[in-house]
Amino acid sequence: MLSIGKLGRAVGVKVPTIRYYEQIGLLPPPERTAGNQRLYGEKTLERLGFIRHARDLGFPLDAIREFLRLADDPDRSCAAADEIARRQLAAVNDRIARLSSLRDELQRMVAQCAHGTIADCRVIEVLGDHAHCAADHEPG
């Protein structure tokens, strides 16, 4: 059995995050010692590792909650898990496209810089008027 601190260190998650995951139901309530100290077993360690890895891949908490429900029913088809992963992949691809657009715009701004005064600064001009941008990169 692990204390909350040892559990956090084992998975690389901070103690307040573990408490939060308990509060929102991603982790089951822990066992308690006579002194009311939280104690965690191997299953919670594995579950927290799963949550941490899913968060590292950018999955939102609702998707992780659904993954955990699916994992609790091992004989079920994995079609639902595949669909959750497809949605996350689409979201990542959208973010990559936006970041690529932002990179291109920043490169264009810097390349057009004449290294003169602020009054003639292309970077300040573009930041002041979105119409000067080559592409739409506003948050969607």
Is the Cα dihedral 4, 5, 9, 13 positive or negative?
positive
- Identify the pLDDT of residue 113: 75
pLDDT band at 139 (very low <50, low <70, confident <90, very high): low
Helices (H) and strands (E) in the chain, counts: 6, 2
Instruction: Give the residue-averaged pLDDT of 47-67.
Output: 96
Whether residue 128 is predicted with pLDDT greater than 90 in this model: the reply is no
Give dist(CA 54, CA 11) in Å, integer: 13
Domain extent listing, the chain: 1-59, 91-140
* Mean pLDDT on 103-116: 82
Asked if the 1-59 domain carries CATH number 3.30.1340.10, the reply is: no
pLDDT band at 78 (very low <50, low <70, confident <90, very high): very high
Asked if 40 contacts 8 with a C-beta cutoff of 8 angstroms, the reply is no
Query: Which pLDDT score is estimated for 125?
Result: 77
140 has pLDDT over 90: no
d(CA 98, CA 39): 44
